[in-house]
Structure formats: structure tokens, C-alpha cells
Amino acid sequence: MGMDFSTLRTLISRYCAGEENCVDTRTVYIAHKEPPPGAEAFIQQRFPDNRIVSSKYTFWNFIPKNMFEQFRRVANFYFLIIFLVQLIIDTPTSPVTSGLPLFFVIIVTAIKQGYEDWLRHKADKAVNQCPVHVVQHGKVIRKQSRKLRVGDVVLVKEDEPFPCDLILLSSSRDDGTCYVTTASLDGESSHKTYHAVQDTKAYKTEEEINCIHATIDCEQPQPDLYKFRGNINIYMGNEPVSRSLASQNLLLRGATLKNTEYIYGVAIYTGMETKMALNYQSKSQKRSAVEKSMNAYLVVYLCILISKAVINTTLKYVWQADPNRDEPWYNEKTETERQRHILIRAFTDFLAFMVLFNYIIPVSMYVTVEMQKFLGSYFIMWDDEMFDEELGERAVVNTSDLNEELGQVEYVFTDKTGTLTENNMEFIECCVDGNVYVPHIICNGQVMPGAAGIDMIDTSPGPEAREHEELFFRALCLCHTVQVKEEETVDGIKHGIHQGKSSSFYISSSPDEVALVEGMKRLGFTYLRLKDGQMEILNREDEIERFELLEVLTFDSVRRRMSVIVRSSTGELYLFCKGADSSIFPRVVSGKVEQVKARVERNAVEGLRTLCVAYRRLSPEQYEQVCHLLTRAKLEFQDQDKLVAEAYDLIERDLVLLGATAVEDRLQEKAADTIESLHKAGMKVWVLTGDKMETAAATCYASKLFRRNTQILELTTKRLEEQSLHDVLFELSRTVLRHYGSMPRDSSGLSSEYTDYGLIIDGATLSAVMRPSQEDSNSGNYKEIFLEICRNCSAVLCCRMAPLQKAQIVKMIKASKEHPITLAIGDGANDVSMILEAHVGIGIMGKEGRQAVRNSDYAIPKFKHLKKMLLVHGHYYYIRISELVQYFFYKNVCFIFPQFLYQFFCGFSQQPLYDTAYLTLYNISFTSLPILLYSLMEQHINMDILKKEPTLYRDIAKNSLLTWPIFIYWTVLGVYDAIVMFFGAYFLFDNTTFTSNGQMFGNWTFGTLVFTVLVFTVTFKLALDTHYWTWINHFVIWGSLVFFVVFSLLWGGIIWPFLNYQRMYYVFMQMLSSGPAWLSIILLITAGLLPDVVKKVFWRSLWPSTTERIQNADKLYKGQLSEFTPLAALHPPPKASSHQRGSENQRNAPNPPRSDTPNKKVMFTRWRRMPDYCTFSPLLRFTDGSHHSRQGNAYSGAGPETSV
């Protein structure tokens, strides 16, 4: 038959025997070579190519897909229906009045979204066409990345990114290892070590690689970055050699090769099946809270519109019940009209009324909103304060649809590495037996110049302490996994570090280790290299010392320490151990523990990352015992990790404490200030990072996310080893909720009067919370308990997060019962998923590529720019667009309600009150520009005040300006103004229906009078709401009124040849020639505006909001409030002796924590040519007019205090 039974069985099992084999595994043929005959069946599988697609549309589906998305909007769909109705039946108005604005909106939106997607296509094309090197038939050829296939053998050179997911076959290093940075995947820019397959690591050339005959069986693609399982079958003889594969053999797309000349790898996952692509979220259309409010209001107005049409249709047939009214002598019906069924006639009339009143749904609002968003986004891009000179970059707006959402953020999810920090560790100091060493300031017991002001314990170690000092320095030079990258080789000898050249540098899987080794170099002990198992260091006397590296006890997050065992040149055996203070101190039997512990606590308060160092001398017998323990543990297949941990525990005992180190993970400039401002603004900040818990926690303390008085709650794998998930969750819940009743609901966490909680959770535990085991009967409410704990914590740190887990966290918070607005900010490809998932995604132009920037809604150069983007731009955008939305509905109610009332006076004949030109141009020309300019320029509060007082952000939280009570107020105001306009004109002209020349006013004059009052009233209303006046405001507001008057004069003053009939000829001039008309216009405008003016005056006097008080103060000080901040003048006057009592209490109070904000700061101002130093209090309170007194003014220095 040509095919043996084993082959047939393989085929049947793959295709028929069960879904599991097909779904869960795949077979990859290296270099597409068939396995030897009789080994196994060759089944050519189809895999996707290596194309990456982040775009949303294609050339073919753009129009239908974009049209579908746009007509999902209530207003767009409604106006499409109205436009079709106008085309089909005879209606009172032209189809142009509805069709023109609708198509303008659709085309503008389509162009904008098409351009944004074209940019994504462009970025995809650049990635997919970049060249890669592939080994084919023993030669290296160049291919475009998109043409890579599963099974291709790829050559990657140093500093090149991996084009797909590869299994490492061999590298330029003899031991088959390579070093990789995965910054764009998990945020860690440190170097990680990966290992080649044991049997292929010796193949170094293309010809040798071409000789490999092997297949790989591995799992199907899945998004977990840290998990991989498979095996490789190498055919070297009669029997294949099988080796297991794990994550340490898998090189992921997006990672970069470092400190290794080249590697060879075989592609196993390509294109959208790579782990990086699987961690991307699909880019969906985001909609802002304001847009959702607009849609809700539109539904209400649609109901009002339908009810109006139903009422008018019903009353029309009631009116026409009298035959004389139904068919008067001057308007007899045709025979066809008489025979038409009454239901058809009623339905046609209903549609005609719908068209007549359809202007109550403001389609032009969508045009204006689109223009406002598009033009308003340029204010972010033009903002010079958001320009970074170091990068030469400005803020970028990728999606202008979400501008107002920046003013509604409740949760901020931020990455750590490259977002909060610069990922630049710096060695600050070390402490040996209580003696402090600061590089270049205090060294070898000598205080160097410039050391004044440094807090020192003792800087003069005696001779007996010198041995410990040098042992400490040697321990830090030896106890690490640092590699040396040397770029200069002279006569086969590597030079650089010890000769003071800058051609060599350290790299490591931990930036802390690099900082410590560089710190030791600055203190006189230089680590040179690891060569042939010998670690070389250069001491202070420029002598090279060699230590044989015997064992490395690697770091893990449970032990929180690492150790090395070395043999000196004199044969002495040492175990050097470094780790967290909590893991070292319990294992110490001697040393100056108290002095070192005091220094560690002090440095921890300062937000520095601390490590303790200890050692132990080993006898040869002890070393033999250690080797036996480790060997036995590593050979065990079952419970290997547990046995190795137990062996480490037995070895790392009876230590002698040497000292401690302090390293600073440099935060980005003003990162702590930004987080503090976000807390004050009422936002909760979560840090989501792929980094280790210890590293991330230290950063959270340094950035003031966690404070000194924050009680840390841990929900980690380490804790779950001691307790079940159920017990831990309920214990944390009880701890937090015990203070629920007494704790103020202040998410800023700035008060010291109550317990401030911070939660730390890792990725593995989060998975257990999100997808608990089925056998646990109580698993259903774990997520709710977890959310309740998080809601009562001022800050949350999620560490060891896979990119998709970050998105799951954001999605979980979005779906919680409050439905808060979320913002995600990050700088790497590992942050793309959460950026796409959050309501607002912000990318940082960091060092980890541009994936986050490309997929974000906004991009900023540095984290500090987030403060202005939210507190200023977000605040302004929301204020502006909320006024725009409410104003549009208001002016359209004013516009169309008189038309409804007019039907009661014209026999429900669908006669328009206004001329067609007025109907068409009201929203397009007469009233559109003032509100558009308002929505672009309005600054209700000076931006400097918004930055200084983040609490003002809370005034607009939770869509507070678009609530139903405010919406109803605007609608009622519009109805009131419409009634005043219509009936005012009706009653005022009830008897005065003649002009001075005896001519009678007609229906078009009446409609023109109402329309004139309408245009002036709604424009003056906007002028009353405007706080920030510029010459542009004056020009547009008064210019639009002048344009209306000029247009009306020209429209009615000239006989236009293109019009079949001209019913408005001389109507406007005739109206203005009447004195009563002028009086009516003035009276009706005043009557329309009066209630709103009165309401504002009384409301501001009796119940002013914080914003209104600041506006009053700013007017009082003529716009100079932000310059010298006289907010103290707005504080309530202190009661008798309250100031003295406060001072007394302050003197008697215990010292405030170091991390607390000082109560007073000094600010220098110039006032009346004299310098004046004023101090201000940080709380913002206001008085009832006490700011008028000179004693309260901030510049006098005598009033209460406020922070600057």
C-alpha cells in the first residue's frame, strides 16, 4: 500500500479520533523537511502568514462598514428616515433642509475615520515589509517579514527584534544562551537569558543548521507570555532524540536580541498567532459619556416630536369634522383625494407634521460637535507646556472623539516601567556595620568635598571594621547575575572598565544589580568579567582578584533573596547572600543588626529600594553537603521546585550581617506630583505592571501612590500558599469594611485621620479570582468581593501582569455597578491591550517603540503631561461640550415650539411659521458660529487655578453637567422663551395690526417678528453664559446678529430671479418700519432672558458652587487671581482665638510623617514694587464676602493661608 498501519493510525487520530489533538497541538517541520520514512506521517498544515493587522477597515469594506457604524447613531438614522420621507411624500419643507446637513456630517466623519485608519495601514505596512534573514538550502536569503512561514529557520542579529515567535536552535555563544530584552512585551527592559535546544546549540553556520532534521510538537497559540510547552524530535539515527521545550526556549515577537552576536531560530507562531498579537485587543469604536447622554436626550426629543405630530394630526381631523372646514369653497379636494382612505390620509398628515417639527432634533449639533472635537484637539497639540525638549515631541491626538471624556476620568490605570519611572536605577548609598558610604562623597571613612548636609551615622570605621567593609564590597561584586558587554578587543584581551574607558558596560536581568555593581565601582571595587567559571574583580589597589563561581542560588519572589557560593584564590569558601530585609534579618546570627535596620528603615521612608547583604564561611564538609542537597533536589522530576526551595532554605542560614544598600529607581520628572494631583481630583490610580512585586512596590512608595501610613494588603501567590483564596479574600474584606462606616469616602487618601489601604495583587492570583476552580462552591462572588476591596483602597498595585490581564482588569472595573470612566496609560506594546480596552487610552512616547502611541487615543511625551491634559484640557472640553449640547437642544426648542403653537391658529394645515430660508439657515448660519466658538474658546476658570486646585475636577465628575435635572431646566427654559415669543407677539399685535401707512401685518410678518426675537434671545443667552471674552467672541456673537439683519434686508429687499415666488419681499423692512415692532422686540427679548438672569443672580448669591465662587473672586481681582492666588481672601474668617488654638494644637501635635505634604510653602511675589513673602493654607474654603476686606488679601500676608 505504500503506507504502514502506524501512519494510518496517526492520520486517523489527528483527524478523527478526537478534537483535542487537532485543537491543542501543532506539528512544525523545521525548514519544511519531511520526517524520515516510518517515523511519522507528514501532514502539511496550513498556518497564517506573518502579516500583522491593526487597521479596522479595508479598501473594500470601508464604505459599508463605516456607513453601518455611523447610522447606528440615533440622530443619523432618524434624519435619514426624515430625508427619505421628504423625498417620497409632499411635505411642507424641502428635502434639502434635512439632507444637506446629514450628508455633510456623514462625509466629514468618514473622511476623519478613514484618515486615522490609513495611518494604521501605513504603520502595519512598515512592519510587514521590514527585511528578515531566512536560511534556505544552506544559504541566507532576505525576505519581507510578512512572507515568513511556520517552519522557516530565521537568522536574527544583535539589536534586531524577533520577527515572529521562535524556538532557539543555536546562538553565537558557546553555551547556547542569548540575552533578550522584552520591554515591549512585559515592560521589563532588563536582559533575560534564553537557552538553545541542547542537541542543536553546536550548529553555528548556515550549512550546519541546514543539516538539522527535526520536528516540533507544541501547543496551539495562547496569549500567556510566561507559559509554553512542547517537545522537539531530532532525527540523528535510527531512533529520534526527544527533548522537552519550555518558555526559556521560546523567543517572542517584539523582544530584541542583546549582547549576542546572532541566533538561529525556527518559526512556530507567525502573524496574528504570535503571543504579542494575541495580547492585542481588537480596536473598537469608543463612545464618550457625553455622546451617550446626547443619544438619550435625542430619544426624549424624538418622543416629544412624535407626540406633537400625533396631537396635531388628531386635532386636525377633529377640526375638519365640520364639512365647511374640511373642504371650504376656496380649497376643494380632487376626486382622488376624496377617495383616499382616511387612515392613509392620517398617516400622510402624521409624516408631514413630523417633517414640519423635525427641527427639534438638531442634526446640525452633530456637525458642530464633530467640528468642535476636530478643531479643539489642536489645542492639545499646540500646547507648549506639553512639548518635551528632550524628545523634541509634542502631544498627539489620534482620536478626537473622546476629548470631553478627559474631564470625566475616575480610574487611571498606569504602567510602571517607562511610564512612572525612567527605568534608570542609581546607587545612592550603602551602610556597612552602621558606617555610611556615599559614592564620591563619603568613601573609606573620609568625607569628600560637597558632603555638607548629608545625614551620617558614623563615617570613620576602625581597623577591625575594614575586613567587613571589604567583604561587603566583594559580596556585591560577586553576588549577582550581571554580564559585561565589552566593545573593544586588543590583542585578544578585552579592555575597558578597569582602564577607565567607557567602551564597556554592565547588563543584567535586574537593573538593581547593575546599579549595585556600578556603585561598587565608584567605591573602588570593579567587577571585570566571568570567564571560564572565574569571577574577576579589581580592588582598590588595582589588583585583580579571582573567585571561582561554584553555585548560584537564583532569586525568586517567595524567598526574596539570592546567593552565590564562591571559592577564593586562597581556597576559602564563602556564601554571599543579598535580599530584602524581611528575608535576611531572620537568618542572621551576628552583626550590627540594630544600626543597619535603622538605616534601612530611614531609606525605606525616603522611597529608596533597600537590600541587605550577609555572608557565611563554609568548610569543605559543609560545601559537600550543600552540593549533595542541590544535586538531589534538581534531579527530582516531581515537586522539583519545592525540593529546590527547601534546599535553599537549609543552605541560607546562620548568616553574618554585613550591611545594606539603597538604590533609587528614578521616577519620571513630576510623576509623584502628578499622581498626588490625580488623587486630589478624585481619581483612583492603579499601577498595572509585568514587573516583580518588590520593584513595583518600591516605585509606588516613591511616586506617593502608597504613603507612609498606608496599610498594605497583599493578595499574592505567596499568601495563597498559606491560606485558601476564599479565606484570604474574606479576611481582607473584613479588614477593609471594618472601617467602612467611620472612614471618610475620600479617594485621594490624603487624610491621616483614618486607615489608608493599598492593595497588592499578582497575575496568578488575579487569574484565580477571575476564573476560580469549579469545585469551589463559593467561587461565584469572588469577583464582587475583590471589587469591593479595591473600591475601598486608595491605590492598587497589580504586578506580574500579562498584557491581556491588564485589559481584563480594566474591563472588570468598566463593568462594575458604578460604570466608571477609565483611562489607561502606558508606553510599550504590552500596554496596548489595556489602552484599547479603557474608555480613554494614552500612549507615552518612551523608549519601548511606538506601538502604544499608534494604538492610543492620545499620546504625550511624559507622564507629567497627564496632569494638564486631564485637569485643564479635560475640564475645559467637558464644560464646553456640555454647554454646546444643552444649548443646541434649548435653541431648537425655542425655534420649533412656536411652530407647534402656530398650528392651533392656522387650522392645523401644516403651514410653516417661518420662511424656508430661515428654517434652513437658523442652525447653519444664524446661531451656529457663536456656540462653535464658545465650545472652542471658553475658559470659565483660569487654567493656572485649575492646575493648582485639582479638587475643582470633582465638580464636573460623573457627567454632572448633563444630568436629567439640568436637561429638564434647559428644556423648560426653551419652552418658556418660545411661549413668551409667540404669545407676546400675538397679544402685542392683537390690536396694532396696521403700520403707519395703514398696511396690515400678515402671517409672514408675524413669523419674521417671532424669528427675530428668537435669534436675538438665544444669542444673548449664550453671551450671558460666556466668561472668557476675546475680540473673536465679540466679532462672532455681534457679527452673527448683524449678518442676520443684513441677510433679512437683502432676502426681502431684492427680487431674486431664481425664485418662483417671493413671499418675503419687503416683509422685514415693513416690520422694522413699525415702532410697536421695535418695542415688542426689546420687551420680548428682555422677558425671555429675565428668568435665567434672576435665577443666576439668586443662585450665585445664596448657594454658590466652588466654581462660581472662584469666578466671582477672579472678577473681583480683575483676572489676577491665578498670579498671586488670593484664595485666602475667600476663606471664612476664623472664630475668636481659633488661630491661636490651632497654633497651640500644632505645637503639641506629634511630628508629621516625612511623606506628608508640608503645611506651609513660601511663595515670592511682587506687589507695589516691594518683595513680599506670603504663606498660604492648602485648603480651599470661601467666605460670604469677607474677601472684600484688606486684611484677608493674600498679598498682605495677614490672612489665612493657602498652598501655592
CA 859 – CA 842 distance, rounded (Å): 5
**Proportion of the chain in helix, strand, coil states, percent, rounded to 5:** 50, 20, 35
Residue 772, SS3 per DSSP:
coil
First to last CA, the chain: 90
Give me Rg for the CA atoms of the chain: 38
Spatial contact of 1202 and 1127, defined as CB atoms under 8 Å apart = yes
| Strand 411-414, strand 822-826: pairing | parallel
Q: Which three cell numbers stand for residue 889?
A: 437642544
CB–CB of 685/543 below 8 Å? Answer: no
| Interatomic CA distance for residues 945 and 1166, integer angstroms | 19
Question: What is the 3-state secondary structure of 280-310?
Answer: CCCCCCCCCHHHHHHHHHHHHHHHHHHHHHH
- Is residue 758 within 8 A of residue 712, CB to CB? The reply is yes
* Of residues 367, 360, 292, the one with CA closest to residue 974: 360
Q: Residue 1052: how many CA atoms within 13 Å on its side-chain side?
A: 21
**Marked catalytic residue, from 117, 152, 415, 977:** 415
- Cα angle 933, 1038, 942 (rounded to 5 degrees) comes to 45
Amino acid at 270: T
Beta pairing, strands 241-245 & 230-234: antiparallel
Determine whether 955 is an active site residue: no
| Coil/strand/helix, residue 712 | strand
For residue 448, count other CB atoms closer than 10 A to its CB.
13
Alpha helices in 16-155 (DSSP H): 19-24, 62-70, 74-88, 96-128
Cβ contacts of residue 565 below 8 Å, gap of 6+? Answer: 550, 551, 553, 573, 574, 575, 618, 623, 626
- Residue 277 Cα distances to 123, 222, 253, 691, 842, angstroms: 15, 10, 9, 20, 19
Q: Which three cell numbers stand for residue 203?
A: 550548529
- Which residue is listed with cell 489620534? 398
Handedness of CA 780, 783, 788, 792 (dihedral sign): positive
Angle between helices 725-737 and 763-770 (to 10 degrees): 90
Residue type, position 180, single letter: V
Q: Cite the beta strand spans of 534-641 per DSSP E.
A: 534-538, 544-556, 561-568, 573-579, 588-590, 609-618
Distance CA 397, CA 378 (A): 8
Our CA angle for 825, 831, 833, nearest 5°, is 110
Amino acid at 676: E
In terms of Cβ atoms closer than 10 Å to its own Cβ (0-12, 13-18, 19+), residue 137 is exposed
- Listed in sequence order, the residues at least 6 apart from 318 whose beta carbon sits closer than 8 Å to its beta carbon are none
Antiparallel, parallel or unpaired: β 25-29 and 214-219: antiparallel
> Are the beta carbons of 551 and 650 closer than 8 angstroms?
no
What are the cell numbers at 496? Answer: 575597558
For residue 544, what are the contacts with CB-CB under 8 A and spacing of at least 6? Answer: 498, 528, 536, 537, 538
Is residue 464 packed enough to be buried (19+ CB in 10 Å), middle (13-18) or exposed (0-12)? exposed
C-alpha cell at 682: 478624585
Catalytic residue numbers read 415
